[in-house]
Amino acid sequence: MRSVKIIVQYDGTDYHGWQIQLNLRTIQGEITDALSKIDERPVVVHGAGRTDAGVHAEGQVASFQLASNVGELELRDAINGHLDRDIRVLTAEFVEDSFHARLSARRKTYRYRIWNGAVAPPFLHRYVYHYRGSLDLAAMRKGASMLVGEHDFRGFTGAACDARVSVRNLERLDITRDGESILITASANGFLRYMVRTIAGSLIDVGRGHRPAEIIREALEQRRRDLAGTTAPASGLTLVQVDY
């Protein structure tokens, strides 16, 4: 048996998230099925992050054990040959047995993209949240600055979050604008379920003037989800990179 690390890109629009679910189409399920055909046995695939339904990835990482005696390029092409075009394995490499896509990860980076123009281009609509109104980026950045650092993010997750510990170190939370595109980039040692989308939705509410920036600090310190903003749509979120 050999340990394998793969980097995967996918358009998550038509999937029910990363994690295998009974009778539902998922990214992990599709990759698992492909590998089981290649290896002619059940293969267990571990992902670095459990992206939700509709969320995309540019640099998802997965690991598994392989029995077949194939090379790295041959393996990559074989997996892709069993997948639909909206999932692609970019690289496959053999790694030390101690490597685990989730447990070995040190940092994950997500990007939330808002299209802030009057009309969203049709070739982008699956990958952005289209908001036509004006957004106060200075107020959004003020709110974002309150979240950077190690905090208990219980107020920025969903009721379905099953994490036993809700403390995370949010190393980076940047807001940049490029034309009609506004990017919220977040890097942390880990994220709770819906955490990035809740942060994005909260900052959007601040930018719209619906909530003061100070409410972000209150939601964080009091760990109250009702004080944070709305959960932003999944379409705008992409897992960009996982660092080891």
Residue 52 tokens, joined:
């939700």
CA–CA distance, 15 with 167 (Å, rounded to integer): 29
- Which neighbouring-strand residues pair with 173? 186
Per DSSP, 202 falls in state H
Q: How many CB atoms lie within 10 A of CB 98?
A: 8
CA–CA distance, 148 with 233 (Å, rounded to integer): 22
Which residue, 69, 67, 58, is CA-closest to 91?
58
Active-site residue, selected from the candidate residues 11, 14, 33, 52: 52
Is 52 an active-site residue?
A: yes
CA–CA distance, 28 with 107 (Å, rounded to integer): 21
Per DSSP, 34 falls in state H
Active site residues: 52
